[in-house]
Amino acid sequence: MSPVQAATATVQSVPRFLSGLGTATAANTVTVTSRVDGQLMAIHFTEGQQVKAGDLLVEIDPRPYEVQLTQALGQLAKDQATLANAKRDLARYQQLAKTNLVSRQELDTQESLVRQTEGAIKADQGAVDSAKLQITYSKITAPIDGRVGLKLVDVGNYIASGSTTGIVVITQTHPIDVVFTLPESNIADLVKAQKAGPVSVEAWDRTNQQLLTTGELLSLDNQIDTATGTIKLKARFDNLDDALFPNQFVNARLKVATLQNAVVIPTAALQMGNEGNFVWLLSADNKVSKHRVTAGIQDSQQVVISAGVNAGDRVVTDGIDRLTEGMQVEVVAPHQTAATPNVEQPKHRAKPQGNS
C-alpha cells in the first residue's frame, strides 16, 4: 500500500483579509525655509533627531533687523513729540478762534497737521512691529513635531527668504501613513467594513514575512483609477517604535470580515485539475476517492472549502501524486513518507482565492 499523510477537515472562524502593495508616507512633511534674508549663524538641531513644534532649529543674523528696529523706534519717538506739540498748538488755536484772533483757515491747517502726525505715528508703529517681527523670524523654529533630516545648508552661508531649497526637511512619523491600492471589486466590502467600525490594517515587510506594525484604515480615495482599475486607501499607524519610515515599501493587509463555521483543510490537500479544484478523501477503510470542491479563502497554511468536504472528513495532504481512484493507502506520520519515490509529477496547486 502507498503511504500518505492525511488531515481532518475542521470547522473554524476564518478572517477574510484584503492585501495590497503600499508605501509609507509621512503624515506631514515640511521644508523649513527662512522668512528673512541673512547669514546663518547657528544650527541647534542634530540630524535625524525628533523635534517638537516650537523647538529652535537655526538662527539668522538678527543685527540688521535690530538696527531697523532702533531706527523705527527713533522715528516713532520723534513723531510722538511732534504730535504732542501739534496738539498743544491746536488747543491754543481753538481758544483764540473763539475770540477771532486766528482765522478759520489757520485752525483747519493745525487740525490737519495733528491728523497727519497721528497717521505718521501709525506708520512708525507699523515699522516698529515689522522690525520686531523680522527679529522673531531670525530665530527659526520647528513648525511641526517630527524627525529632522540631513541639513541642506551649513553655518556661515547667506540665506535668502525667496529660496525654495530650504534649510532642513521635517517629516512627521508619529503617526505615519501607508498609502496602498486595492482592486475596485473590493470597494463594496471596504465600505461595509468601514460602516461596521474601525478597520484594522497590518503592515508587513517587503517579503511579506514579518509583521511590522498595526494601525487603522483612515480613508478611501474619492475616485477609481480608470487606468489600473484600483482605488487608493490610506491607513494610519502610531509608529511609536519607528517600525515604518517614509517611502518604505510595505504590504498592507486589512480584515474586512470573519467567516463563521467554515470548513477548513490544509492548503496542501487542495489540488487543481482539468475540471477545477479537487481533493482526495479517505474512507474509513483508507481507500481514496477524488472529490471536486469549491475553494474559498486561502493562505499558505489552510483553505476554506465551501462545498465538497464536510467537517470530520479526512483529506490526503502528501503522497498525492501516487493516488488513483479507489486505491487503498496507508496513513503514516510525516517522517515516514520521505523515502518513498514519486512516480509522476505532482499536480499544480490551486491559486489563492478571496484573500487578496
Q: CA-to-CA distance for 167 and 302, rounded, in angstroms?
A: 53
Please indicate whether residue 155 or residue 163 has the higher confidence score (pLDDT). 155
Same fold, 17-26+173-259 and 34-57+141-166: no
In tens, the pLDDT along 228-278 reads 999 999 999 999 999 999 999 999 999 888 888 888 888 888 888 888 888
The residues, ordered by sequence, that sit 6+ positions from 220 with a Cβ below 8 Å of its Cβ are 187, 190, 191, 194, 231, 232, 233, 234
Query: At the fourth CATH level, which superfamily is domain 17-26+173-259?
Result: Efflux pump adaptor protein, beta barrel domain (2.40.30.170)
Length of the chain: 356
Record the cell numbers describing residue 74, joined without a space. 527713533
C-alpha to C-alpha distances, 147 to 105, 189, 234, 246, 312, nearest whole angstrom: 68, 36, 21, 11, 55
Q: Taking Cα atoms as reference points, which of 186, 177, 179 lies closest to residue 230?
A: 186
Residue 40, CB-side half-sphere exposure with 13 Å CA sphere: 22
Report the predicted TM-score, pTM, of the whole model to 2 decimal places: 0.69
pLDDT score, position 336: 54
In tens, the pLDDT along 108-146 reads 888 899 999 999 999 999 999 999 999 999 999 999 999
In tens, the pLDDT along 4-53 reads 888 888 898 888 888 999 999 999 999 999 999 999 999 999 999 999 99
C-alpha to C-alpha distances, 181 to 209, 224, 228, 231, nearest whole angstrom: 20, 10, 10, 5
What residue ranges do the domains of the chain occupy? 2-15+260-349, 17-26+173-259, 34-57+141-166, 63-137
Comparing 55-64, 184-193, 209-218, 253-262, which segment has the lowest mean pLDDT?
253-262
CATH of 63-137, one of 3.30.1120.130, 3.40.1160.10, 3.60.21.10, 1.10.287.470: 1.10.287.470
pLDDT score, position 335: 62
Mean pLDDT, all residues of the chain: 88
The residues, ordered by sequence, that sit 6+ positions from 82 with a Cβ below 8 Å of its Cβ are 117, 120
Residue 342, CB-side half-sphere exposure with 13 Å CA sphere: 8
pLDDT score, position 252: 95
Q: Taking Cα atoms as reference points, which of 340, 347, 287, 330 lies closest to residue 4?
A: 330
DSSP letter, residue 207: T
CATH number of 34-57+141-166: 2.40.50.100
Query: Please, where are the H alpha helices in 99-181?
Result: 104-137
Q: What is the dihedral of CA 170, 172, 174, 177, to 10 degrees?
A: -140
Residue 334 has pLDDT above 80, yes or no: no
**Amino acid in the structure at residue 83:** L
Q: Taking Cα atoms as reference points, which of 126, 133, 113, 136 lies closest to residue 76?
A: 126
Q: CA-to-CA distance for 5 and 335, rounded, in angstroms?
A: 10
Q: Taking Cα atoms as reference points, which of 280, 355, 344 lies closest to residue 314?
A: 280
Record the cell numbers describing residue 260, joined without a space. 463563521
CATH of 2-15+260-349, one of 3.40.50.11810, 2.40.420.20, 3.40.1390.10, 3.40.50.2300: 2.40.420.20
Mean pLDDT of the 307-316 span: 88
- Whether 51 and 142 have beta carbons less than 8 Å apart is answered as yes
Residue 93 has pLDDT above 90, yes or no: no
* % of the chain at pLDDT higher than 70: 94
Pairing mode of beta strands 2-8, 329-331: parallel
The residues, ordered by sequence, that sit 6+ positions from 350 with a Cβ below 8 Å of its Cβ are 270, 271, 272, 277, 295, 298, 303
- Whether 22 and 215 have beta carbons less than 8 Å apart is answered as no
**Amino acid in the structure at residue 186:** N
Q: Dihedrals φ, ψ of 77, to 5°?
A: -65, -40
* % of the chain at pLDDT higher than 90: 54
DSSP-assigned states of every residue in 327-353:
-BEEE--GGGSTTSPPSSPPPEEPPPB
DSSP letter, residue 286: S
Radius of gyration of the chain (CA): 39
> What is the longest distance spanned by two Cα atoms in the chain?
137
pLDDT score, position 104: 85
C-alpha to C-alpha distances, 101 to 8, 86, 90, 91, 114, nearest whole angstrom: 120, 18, 14, 14, 20
Q: CA-to-CA distance for 171 and 173, rounded, in angstroms?
A: 6
